[in-house]
Amino acid sequence: MRILIDERGKKYLVNAEKDFQSDLGIIKKEALEEAQPGDTLLSHLSREFKVIKSNVNDFIELMERRCSILLPKDIGIVISYTGLGCGDRVVDAGTGAGAIALHFSNVVGEKGMVYSYEIREDFSIIAQKNLDQFGIKNIELKNQDVKEGIKERDVDLIFFDLPKPWEAVDIAFGALKTGGWLAVYAPYIEQVQLLKKICKNAGFENFNSLECILREIEVKVKGTRPKTRMVGHTGYLVFSRKL
């Protein structure tokens, strides 16, 4: 999968099997097929497009979606906090557009596996289309309600982004290996309070919750300062471990 970046910095996901068209002109498919990352292509209007090799963040930015997705600031904490690594097995629910599953897939690699549950068929169709377009082989998408059961056993991480995640805590405990993590995204503090009680009753330990607030730094000729606008609260991240 390749990405084109035009003179304005706008990105495009490219299908090299057909001509590329934008308001800055047309690039023939023959030129796209022969292009390598780092090349600069000219449209028929003599406008420049830089070719880069896409990574998971590029693809998620450009892929089709009809729902909100978790931001990298939250996903990164889940990955680092739980120690997710190459060869691990993950259960993810709900899939949405597939962004979280793609991040997990990128970390666990070809030796790992991600099993993603999505109850809504319309979301599942879009997510599967995205996975196929990116050529992902280590994600199995299931159009199923995770509360009806998790078939997989001895998984390393289970991640819930669900309206009522506490309804599947017992199911998660049974599917995790000893030492495995349950991570939950919860928009409201009342959900965190309820999750702590239910996780404890299910047998989980090492309960912890946190919030990540991200503020970028603005660098200008006249000075450097924090940006006046920032990504504030998105949700709480809840972690429990099966020991």
Which tens digit of pLDDT belongs to each residue from 95-111?
999 999 999 999 999 99
What CA–CA distances, in Å, run from 13 to 64, 67, 133, 220? 11, 20, 10, 31
The closest of 133, 62, 39 to 27, measured between CA atoms, is 39
- Please give the CATH topology (third level) of the domain spanning 2-54: Vcp-like ATPase; Chain A, domain 2 (3.10.330)
DSSP structure class, residue 146 = G
Rounded to whole angstroms, how far apart are CA atoms 135 and 80? 25
Residue 135 has pLDDT above 90, yes or no: no
**pLDDT per residue as tens digits for the range 10-48:** 999 887 788 999 999 999 999 998 999 999 999 999 999
Q: Residue 115's pLDDT is what?
A: 98
Rounded to whole angstroms, how far apart are CA atoms 88 and 110? 10
Q: Residue 17's pLDDT is what?
A: 82
Q: Residue 16's pLDDT is what?
A: 77
Rounded to whole angstroms, how far apart are CA atoms 210 and 185? 10
| % of the chain beyond a pLDDT of 70 | 100
Residue 234 has pLDDT above 80, yes or no: yes
95/133: higher pLDDT: 95
Q: What is the mean pLDDT of residues 66-79?
A: 90
pLDDT classification of 118: cutoffs 50, 70, 90 = very high
DSSP 41-90: EE-TT--EEEEEE--HHHHHHHS--SS----HHHHHHHHHHHT--TT-EE
- Give the predicted TM-score (pTM) of the model: 0.90
Supply the mean pLDDT for the chain: 94
Residue 123 has pLDDT above 70, yes or no: yes
Q: Residue 162's pLDDT is what?
A: 96
Residue 177 has pLDDT above 90, yes or no: yes
Which superfamily is assigned to 59-241 in CATH? Vaccinia Virus protein VP39 (3.40.50.150)
pLDDT classification of 1: cutoffs 50, 70, 90 = low
Question: Does 205 show up as a binding residue in the annotation?
Answer: no
**pLDDT per residue as tens digits for the range 185-218:** 999 999 999 999 999 999 999 999 999 998 899 9
Question: Does 145 show up as a binding residue in the annotation?
Answer: yes
In this structure, which amino acid lies at residue 89?
A: R
CATH 3.40.50.150 residue ranges for the chain: 59-241
Query: What element of type H or E holds 122?
Result: helix 121-134
**pLDDT per residue as tens digits for the range 26-36:** 999 999 989 99
Q: Residue 67's pLDDT is what?
A: 84
Q: Tokens 């995204």 correspond to what residue?
A: 185
- Angle between helix axes 121-134 and 99-108 (nearest 10 degrees) is 40
Question: Does 118 show up as a binding residue in the annotation?
Answer: yes
Q: What is the mean pLDDT of residues 72-81?
A: 95
